[in-house]
Structure 1
Amino acid sequence: MKTAFRLTILAAAFVVSLGPVRAQTPDLQETPAFAADVAAGKLPPVTARIPTVPLVVNFQSPREAGQPGGDLRTLIGRARDVRLLNVIGYTRLVVYDEKFRFVPDLAEKLEVEDERIFTFHLRKGHRWSDGQPFTAEDFRYYWEDVANNKELNPAGPPASLMVDGERPKVEFLDEATIRYSWSKRNPGFLPRIAGTSAFYLYRPAHYLKQFHAKYADPQKLAALVAAEKRASWAALHNRMDNMVEGDNPDLPGLDAWMMTTRPPAIRFVATRNPYFHRVDANGRQLPYIDRIIFSQADAKLIPAKAGAGEADLQFRNITFNNFTFLKENEKRAGYKTLLWRTAKGSHFTLYPNLNATDPSWRALMRDARFRHALSLAIDRQAINESLYFGLAIESNNTVLPDSPLFKPEYQSTNATLDVATANRLLDELGLSKRDGNGVRLMANGRPLEIVVETAGEDTEQTDVLELIGENWAKIGIKLFAKPSQRDVVRNRIFSGEAIMSVWSGLENGLPTANTNPHELAPTSQYGLQWPKWGQWYETSGQSGEPIDMPAARELYDLYEAWMATGDEDQRTRIWHRMLAIHAEQTFSIGVISGIFQPIVANKKLANIPKEGVFNWDPGAFVGLYRTETFWLRP
């Protein structure tokens, strides 16, 4: 039997998986962009700007040490997309390496005991982007003065820090050591910290205390509240403390680049952090790129603009159906078009709403025979060949072949074209009557017309739905696509008004036994097939509906059993049972997976991999591949 899950990460000077361990910090070289400020006394020299033990990055061929300098241009469809800066930079206490293992980053080392006790050791001498020390005080401030302050957080600490309602015991052992512990296992803690959606356990206390009633002079604070036209000191603090949005250039940070443009604007500039903690093996402080420039454009025009050479790195707002156009314009515009395989369980997934408010639709959606019929009627091969040149994987919404948990039957059960069986199942359900157009009739006499709600953010979804509509017409079902704004669609799903929706599938299609299987169980309202059961779980029964389907309840119980054990063999068995239930029940209808994502990169941009995994979490899009090491050749 494999031993219970234990994790010890004790890296010293190197954690990024770009090469072998280097035991000593190299002799440091001053960054050209900072040389003038250092000479003028505006900045300390590089030897005083980085931690005592920085993170040292070595390279393996074909990647290589680069030269600092230059601007990196990218296009965004809306101003809020500047949030991508902390995704592109991907700096966390702990990060994933390219093999999806946890490695320290801001932390020098980490010790984990039985998934209950997590001890972080910070890098001594590490500083915020304004030069102030980054210490345990920043963690204490967040925990005691922000997370547990009722005016700033009336609901208390975030759910990611709670285990069955239990708050962590947080200890500040010394200036560079912080410990979080619970009486029960918290296997979701490290994935949340390393996740793409940044979860910060710290705040720049030296900056934010001026906006906190506990520390600020009352008269000065009142003046600041009035000047910013905020209702209270708490509203002001929350406005200034938005570390993800990038809308407060005065807020110190720890990322590779810091936003300098104050909104509103259509062009945003992020400049390199003079105190960034990573260096290369030649003693060059990272990042290599001096500035990242975000230019706002109509999202529909971004593929054309990228094809005209207006971006040095572009992955947002372009899809596989832009690939041919982009490829044709490479030489003229001076870029290369890379194709990275995506890692979601399904790129395109239909979600029957098991919590639909309409009783007739709810009954149908909850009958596995109906879900099977819908899935069996889809010609996945035709969709793959028509839209993806046959390069995608025709599959259920499940784990990908590269996952150690993969089994072929998870991919194919109820997911191969069989129109005869689909028609037979629908007849068994009493849906044998049809109208004059050949559309089946429901028990209440209404035609079997399924409205699929979509955010309509790209034409790809429309194209796939059109093909599925043609497939379903052969079994007497009419499909209507209803595009709306993303928030509108989600609210209709959450309320049960939507009977079916379309989105991507499992966020992580490459899990291991020790990956949290929360996506497979009703644990979130963002589980679009069971939003009200997810609400019930998230609110401890205060809203939503209790789980009242045996198969879904078994998934929930299996999830709870996975959380309670640290034995890897047991976790493996649980994962396989959960995956088998999904294949048997078709709670979501996957269509294709493993498609390629085009990435436009300036032909001079070095160190960006030719092949990679493109995923939100884990992966941070391109962030997994350490964009601070990308550089522009002369």
Structure 2
Amino acid sequence: MIFPLSRIRFALLAFLFLLPTTVSLSVAAASPAAAELEVLQRDDPPLPQAFAEPPLLAERVAAGGLPPIEDRLPEVPLVVDFGQRTLGEPGGELLMLVGRNKDVRLLTVYGYARLVGFDENFELMPDLLQKVEVEDGRIFTLHLRPGHRWSDGAPFTAEDFRYWWEDMANNADRYPAGPPATLLVDGAAPEFEILDETTVRYSWPAPNPFFLPALAGARPLFIYAPAHYLKQFHPAHSDPAALQAKAEELGLRNWAQLHNRMDSLYGFDNPALPVLQPWRLITEPPSQRYVAERNPFFHRIDPEGMQLPYLDRFVLDVVGGSLLPVKTGAGDTDLQSRGLNFSDYTFLKQGEKRGNFSVRLWETVRPSELALYPNLNARDPVWRDLFRDVRVRRALSLAIDREMINQVVYFGLGLTGNQAVLPASPFHVEAHRQTWAQFDPEQANALLDEAGLSRRNRAGIRLLPDGRPMEIIVETAGENLQETDVLQLIKEAWAEIGVEVFIKPLQREVLRNRIFAGDTLMTMWFGLENGVPTADLPPNEFVPVQQHGYHWPKWGQYFETKGKSGEAPDLPAAQELMELYRDWHSATGRAGREAAWERILEINAEQVFTFGLVAQIPQPIVVRNGLHNLPETAIYNWNPGAQFGIYRPETFWMEEAARR
């Protein structure tokens, strides 16, 4: 029996150019106790009759420097279904601006070659893998593409998974804390098996719903590494004395630090490290310009058999962060989003004709662009008790004029409301966004009076139970140009209900340390990352399991450290959220995860743990005229999405007249 698999799906945009990949769910129909088997397998277009060499590589093949394309592709390459995309002309380069050397890692993010990845519907599909079988949500069998090769031509096989698991993740020198937390279920690591040269299996005693989404992330969980290259830096495969000497020569303490420097598939900063991405780095860092050249062994082809990517080179120019909008407006880039904010839109539009580019506005999916986070773990006992009183949180939320913020700061283009999920999510309930989010100073005043804050001083400021004026210091890193305007509007609105606001900008790391210590009363920060979740994505941002939840940092720290640090949640609503999180984690079927998500979102709406403001603020995307196959409108998100990654940069191509 075959059902459409919509397990990791956002039903969000009906793009005309979607990749119509079919993923299926097979259910074994034996006995009531039979295991549920899900099979993620693509239904690609048929293989073309012949394969085509990109001109750059054809020259190298003719010169004897590369094997022909038939010997470079996997036995079953991934045929990209173009939909409304246009077949491209191979060649040329794409130039992008970045603000720092470490942004070279964007070549991993945007290349978006993953074992499994999200498509434009945010549905999981195999990519580097040919097929994935999942049994009871806890046994994952990964099938590689036979004949797949690393960028240097070496085979990509089960040995690369074994090397990472045994020689890296379970080596106390290289991974002192042990395997990544995503690979632990109730503290238990998986059983790892090699079934054959192209098949590996990971088995846990209980479901692991984090596994596949982690493999598909913008910063993915790498569970493989190029063993043939890295063994030269490992004492189990090389002379330990020689490795120690090499490490000291580079100013490193030991072989583990040497290996770590050489093995970063995400960091993308070692040109010698073989990769599976569309482009491979050919520039030694540090540099002001990083050039990545096409991977001759990349596994994707277009419907006519041309090996992708179309672009021969992907170039990153490093400029000062403050110069990114200016240089973008001058036309010094082919594709740009990094360093651009909605506040730059007018300036960028004015430069379109002069700079030979167009500005597109893509939709963002934070449930609020900016948000306020009252610290429920504040060190000050009076403020801690007040912030844990739902009447106070509701009152402060009701006293924010979100529509005013939307009109004054965002030209009315945003979606007002609290931090509930957005309409694109299957869990969207409009009432949740509007619960305690209407501008109602009268009700806000009544709630504060009911909470015992009816006394005021001569200036009209309410008095705390200990007699101090109700003055809230809102701390911020000052990294968003709209923060000052937004906070000024909130300051004026809260003054009307007898609450005085002071704004205190700090450096990011100082701010975080103060939040974690409980010294910060309230923070303005970006909204939550993902406002369009599905049942199979973890509800981490809506439950107290992360120290970086600035409204409950000590509760999150308690979870992350397994009780060694922080504080156990002692608020009934927070305790219920933790129970629901455990329900989501242990559910063996989608229905259980859906039920947990729905109740989690309901609690968040009623309890108003954070104050969302305005969501869906457009992200400017600057595109060189002549660059093809980039959507006119799309979702811009880090994870899931990898910003440009899910839109297949390997299919982007540049008209000859637009090439540099």
TM-score range, shorter chain: over 0.9
Match of 1:389 in 2: 411
- Alignment counterpart, residue 451 of structure 2, candidates 421, 429, 444: 429
**Partner of residue 295, structure 2:** 273
The Cα offsets for residues 298-319 of structure 1, whole Å up to 9 and x where unpaired, read as 2222112111101111111111
The one-letter amino acid paired with 2:522 is: M
Distance in 2 (CA, whole Å) between partners of 1:246 and 1:6 is 36
> Normalising by the residue count of structure 2, what TM-score does the alignment of the two structures yield?
0.92
Which portions of structure 1, spanning 4 or more consecutive aligned residues, are displaced by more than 6 angstroms? 2-5
SS in 2 for 1:482: strand
Match runs of 1:395-410 below 5 Å: 395-410=417-432
Find the counterpart in structure 2 of residue 56 from structure 1.
79
1:322 paired to 2:360: no
Partner AA of 1:55 in structure 2: L
1:125: how far off? 1.0
Q: Distance in 1 between matches of 2:284 and 2:606?
A: 52
1:357-368 to 2 correspondences below 5 Å: 357-368=379-390
Distance 1:469 1:568, change over 3 A: same
Query: What is the CA–CA distance in structure 2 between the aligned matches of 1:395 and 1:495, rounded to whole Å?
Result: 29
Identical aligned residues as a percent: 53
Which runs of 5 or more residues in structure 2 are unaligned? Answer: 4-26, 28-34
8 Å Cα contact 1:86/1:198 also seen in 2:
no
1:86-134 deviation line (CA, Å, top 9, x unaligned) = 1111111000011111100110111111110111110111111111111
**Maintained 8 Å contact 1:454/1:484:** yes
Q: Which residue of 1 aligns with 2:142?
A: 120
Whether the 8 Å contact between 1:348 and 1:504 is mirrored in structure 2 is yes
Q: Contact 2:37 / 2:133 at 8 angstroms: preserved in 1? A: no
Partner of 2:502: 480
* CA–CA separation in structure 2 for the residues paired with 1:343 and 1:215: 47
Is 1:590 equivalent to 2:612 in the alignment? yes
Tell whether 2:41 aligns with 1:7: no
Whether 1:38 and 2:61 are equivalent positions in the alignment is: yes
SS at match of 1:498: coil
Deviation of the 1:436 alpha carbon:
4.4
Residues 149-228 of structure 1: pairs in structure 2 closer than 5 A: 149-228=171-250
Distance in 2 of aligned mates of 1:226 and 1:381: 60
- Aligned mates of 1:175, 1:489 — CA distance in 2: 50
CA distance in 2, matches of 1:5, 1:537: 31
Cα 1:549/1:6, change in 2 over 3 Å? farther
Match of 1:618 in 2: 640
Please tell me the residue identity of whatever aligns with 2:74: P
- Contact 2:48 2:304 (8 Å CA) reproduced: no
Q: Partner amino acid for 1:329?
A: G
1:375 aligns with 2:397: yes
Change in 2 beyond 3 A, CA 1:458/1:505: closer
Q: Is the 8 A contact 2:629 2:652 kept in 1?
A: yes
Q: Equivalents in 1 of 2:107, 2:470: separation in Å?
A: 46
CA deviations on 1:229-251 (whole Å, 9 max, x unpaired) are 21111111111112222222211
Take 1:617 and 1:105, find their aligned partners in 2: how far apart are those partners? 17
- Per mean C-alpha deviation after superposition, the further-off stretch among 356-365 and 330-339 is 356-365
Does residue 93 (structure 1) correspond to residue 115 (structure 2)? The answer is yes
Which amino acid is 2:263 matched to? D
Contact 2:368 2:616 survives alignment (8 Å): yes
- Number of aligned residue pairs: 624
How far apart, CA to CA, are the structure 1 residues paired with 2:485 and 2:311? 39
Give the secondary structure class of the aligned counterpart of 1:292.
strand
> In 1, distance between residues paired with 2:189 and 2:543?
23
Q: Matched residues in 2 for 1:512 and 1:417: separation?
A: 30
Secondary structure of residue in 1 paired with 2:613: strand
How is 1:185-584 mapped onto 2 (pairs within 5 angstroms)?
A: 185-584=207-606
Separation in 1, partners of 2:602, 2:36: 24
Query: Residue 536 of structure 1: CA displacement?
Result: 1.1
Structure 1 residue 138: Cα displacement? 0.5
SS of residue matched to 1:459: coil
Cα distance in 2 between the residues matched to 1:41 and 1:482: 64
Match of 1:18 in 2: none
Checking the alignment, whether the CA contact within 8 Å between 1:398 and 1:506 is kept in structure 2 is: no
Q: What's the CA shift for 1:478?
A: 2.4
Q: In the aligned structure 2, how far is the partner of 1:476 from the partner of 1:240?
A: 58
Deviations 1:396-432 (A, max 9, x none): 1111112111111111000110011112222223333
- 69, 73, 85: which one aligns with 2:91: 69
Q: Provide the secondary structure at the position in 2 that maps to 1:295.
A: strand
Q: How far apart are the structure 1 equivalents of 2:36 and 2:529?
A: 23
In the alignment, is the contact (CA less than 8 A) between 1:269 and 1:293 conserved in 2?
yes
The one-letter code sitting in structure 2 at the alignment partner of 1:316 is: R
Residues 557, 566 of structure 2: 8 Å contact kept: yes
Shift of 1:449: 2.2
Q: Deviations over 1:575-598 (max 9, x none)?
A: 221111101100111111122111
Amino acid at match of 1:233: W
Cα offset for 1:5? 7.6
Contact 1:5 1:566 in 2 (8 A): no
Contact 1:522–1:533 under 8 Å retained in 2: yes
What is the match of residue 17 of structure 1? none
Within the alignment, does 1:22 sit opposite 2:45 as a pair? yes
Residues 459 and 40 of structure 1: is their aligned pair in 2 closer, same or farther, counting only changes over 3 Å? same
Q: Residue type of the partner of 2:321?
A: A
User: Residue by residue, what CA displacement relative to the aligned partner does 1:487-543 show, whole Å, maximum 9, x if unpaired?
Assistant: 332222222222212223332211223332222211111222111111111111111
Give the aligned residue type for 2:83.
Q
Q: Give the aligned residue type for 1:43.
A: L
